[in-house]
Amino acid sequence: MRRLWFCLIPIFFALWGLPTQAFFDVDVCADVVPGEPINDECLALMEDFPEPRVIEIQEDLQTLGTYSFWRVQNTQPPVYDSPGGNITRHMNPGFNFVRVINTSVDGWVQIETGEWLTRDVVEYNEASYFNGVRILDGLENQFAWVLGTLYTSAYPGGPQDIQNGRLLFRYDLINIFAEAYDENGWRWYLVGPDQWIEQRMVAKVFKIDRPEGVEGRWVAVDLYEQTLVAYDGDVPVYATLIASGVPGWDTNEGIYEVWARLEVDRMSGATGAPNGWDLQSVPWVMYFDESISLHGTYWHDNFGYRQSRGCVNLSISDARFIYQWFLDTPIRDEDDNPINYVYVHSSGEYRTSGAATK
């Protein structure tokens, strides 16, 4: 009976659309040399595992579906107490977003403070629907998100192979089977048979050791790869893309505890200056380095690249997942508050070549 069960395993895998190869042993591709034939074991591995073994999380449709975010033009527009009513103030210049709660009056929008703006000074902004993935295999093998639309190259350093290459799109997930370097010292990843992609065009996810003093549930923020991996103890369970601080607003490296969490918070800074910002209803906020936080982000879809003024930008769905996952932790302080850690580090050093930076 036991022998029959093992014989049936491949059938069950086939029925459920799972790989029939039992293990994802990337070591069989370790000896791949660009331009030379790939061994049969490595080719079989690529065929069995065309995508990483992960599951996308559920989208936060409650926030995405009920919150309406609008960009305010940088013109210090007047704010009214009612449609066509009295001007109560002028908005400060800068990068401003409002949450609109009422569009029923033609030519006007009402924002969450109860005030009104004319329709011509705001523009609707759809939030990103990107979301991260649950890790099923303990992250024993590396995978990556693609950061732009491209064809793979036939060899490291080669041009995009439009005829025979694999067409990849932004946010596609790929397995990494091997790596090599081109003549300029840039790292390239083998993602399929004779399919190579340069490391600057992907955000790689890989397992790291738990820092000393960190326990329970924690997240590792990699500033180089622009990724976040969530760990339960030593086990990686979740991964996604982030957008950290741009030069001059760099996200600080270090080990931090989440010291405050808010389901919604208003964020502003440099008030009155041309580079000021005011963002209403930022969702799923987790403060860890003074005023720096992990939080949901509705004003851009540039995850995988540095974008923020120090905070760790997440998609709304990712931020909600981490927020709720952090709360469900067994490690708590004397007041029964969950203790969660954020480890910010950089797995490499940025260098610049042309327009690309990483």
Give the pLDDT confidence of 280-338 residue by residue, as tens digits. 999 999 999 999 999 999 999 999 999 999 999 999 999 999 999 999 998 898 998 89
The mean pLDDT value for 133-160 works out to 95
Task: Tell me what the pLDDT averaged over the chain comes to.
Answer: 89
Do 178 and 94 have their domain in common? no
Residue 24 pLDDT more than 90? no
Q: What are the beta bridge partners of residue 268?
A: 278
Q: Considering 204, 221, 247, which residue would you say is the last residue of a domain?
A: 204
Count of the separate structural domains present in the chain: 3
| Structural domain contains residue 358 | no
Same domain, 39 and 176: yes
**Where does the pLDDT of residue 272 fall: very low under 50, low under 70, confident under 90, or very high at 90 and above?**
low
Q: Is residue 192 part of a domain?
A: yes
What torsion do the CA atoms of 191, 192, 193, 194 make, to the nearest 10 degrees?
-40
- On whether both 268 and 321 belong to a single domain, the answer is yes
Question: Which pLDDT does position 32 carry in this prediction?
Answer: 94
Which pLDDT score is estimated for 200?
95
pLDDT at 349: 86
Give residue-wise pLDDT tens across range 88-133. 999 988 899 999 999 999 999 999 999 999 999 999 999 999 999 9
For residues 356 and 112, the model is more confident at 112
In a domain, 8, yes or no: no
Domain end marker among 156, 177, 204: 204
In this prediction, residue 271 carries a pLDDT of 61
**Nearest one of 260, 268, 278, 266 to 323, comparing CA atoms:** 260
Tokens 């890989």 belong to residue: 206
Tell whether the model's pLDDT for residue 273 goes beyond 90.
Answer: no
Considering the domain architecture, whether residues 218 and 258 belong to the same structural domain is answered as yes
Report d(CA 301, CA 310) in Å as an integer.
17
Q: Are strands 277-289 and 356-357 parallel, antiparallel or unpaired?
A: unpaired
Query: What's the rounded Cα separation, in Å, for the pair 107 and 104?
Result: 9
Average pLDDT of the segment spanning 46-61: 93
**What is the pLDDT at residue 6?**
36
Binned at pLDDT 50, 70 and 90, residue 28 comes out as very high
Residues 172, 44, single domain; the answer is: yes
Claim to verify: residue 194 and residue 45 sit in the same structural domain: yes
In a shared domain, residues 217 and 308: yes
Burial of 196 (0-12, 13-18, 19+ CB in 10 A): buried
Residue 288's domain is classified under what CATH number?
2.40.440.10
* 119 and 145 share one domain: no
Q: Is the pLDDT score of 169 beyond 80?
A: yes
Distance CA(150)–CA(168), nearest Å, equals 5
Does the pLDDT at position 255 exceed 90? yes
3-state secondary structure of 301: coil
Q: What is the mean pLDDT of residues 330-348?
A: 93
**pLDDT score at 68:** 94
> What is the rounded distance in angstroms from the CA atom of residue 336 to the CA atom of residue 329?
11
Return the percent helix, strand and coil in the chain, to nearest 5: 15, 35, 50
Same domain, 276 and 342: yes
Helix (H, G, I), strand (E, B) or coil at 145: strand
- From CA 69, how far away is CA 341, in angstroms rounded? 30
Residue 132 inside a domain? The answer is: no
Both 109 and 73 in one domain: the answer is yes
182 and 274 belong to one structural domain:
no
pLDDT band at 14 (very low <50, low <70, confident <90, very high): very low
Q: Is residue 196 part of a domain?
A: yes
Domain that holds residue 332: 207-348
User: Which of 173, 204, 235 is where one domain is finished?
Assistant: 204
Question: What is residue 268's predicted lDDT score, i.e. its pLDDT?
Answer: 79
Is 353 part of a structural domain of the chain? no
pLDDT band at residue 254, thresholds of 50, 70 and 90?
very high
Residues 32 and 167 in one domain: yes
What does DSSP assign to residue 75?
S
142 confidence band (pLDDT: 50, 70, 90): very high
Please tell me the predicted confidence (pLDDT) of residue 4.
38
Query: What is the domain-level CATH number for residue 104?
Result: 2.30.30
Which residue has better confidence, 176 or 351? 176
